[in-house]
Structure 1
Amino acid sequence: MKPREISVNTALAELLLNNLFSNASRHNFSGGEINIVLHKGVLTIENTSASTGLDNQQLFRRFYNPGINKESNGLGLAVIKEICDASHVTIRYAYSDYKHAFQLTFQN
């Protein structure tokens, strides 16, 4: 596979990835899984969860909290979406078989 270069602000990229990894860990259960896959310019971060899927219409809105974590202020995914938009990264969310998955597609 040929290396692929992307151009993003390093501080924003660090914040983006830290938030996604932190969410995958925080919203998992003891003994659960976190899968990280990079394939053809798409980074997928997937984690098991005892909760149901998130509302695709709401999940990137500020203060959205589906009630899973009472301590959440509902800003994390909104920040992630803003960073993606500013960095020309497409983010998608899917839920299947008790797993949340976030896919990041990086533009050249």
Structure 2
Amino acid sequence: MTKKSTKAPAKTPAAKAAAPKAATAAASESTKVGKAQLVNLVAERTGLTLKQSDAAVVAALDSIVNAVRAGQSVGLAGLGTLSVKATAARTGVKPGTSERIQIPAGKKVSFKVASTLKGTL
């Protein structure tokens, strides 16, 4: 017995030209803004080069992360406040076995949305 190959039909020149546009449109419709998109937005709004805006975004994010790791609250006007909150020790249930387990105390990052942003959503 021979194996049949399933080959995709060849693209026409018109389909090849439309493919990059479709990929770009799908990327711009995404609901998530990643670091690369943030760098591009900063570059467009400030007139900085991509390399300069990347350095600025990385520096800002590193500063925020370091402040939160140190236990400080970070307030970003118009966006909200990042803070560290302590969680208490508690008893939980292990999924599948229904066994009771003790969950130790820890810390979590909390985000409170700014009222100005909340009002415009």
Same fold by TM-score, threshold 0.5 exceeded?
A: no
* Structure possessing the higher relative contact order (Cα contacts under 8 Å, 6 or more residues apart): 1
TM-score normalised to the size of structure 2? 0.27
TM-score normalised to the size of structure 1? 0.29
Could you say which structure has the larger radius of gyration?
A: 2
Bigger proportion of residues as helix: 2
Bigger proportion of residues as strand: 1
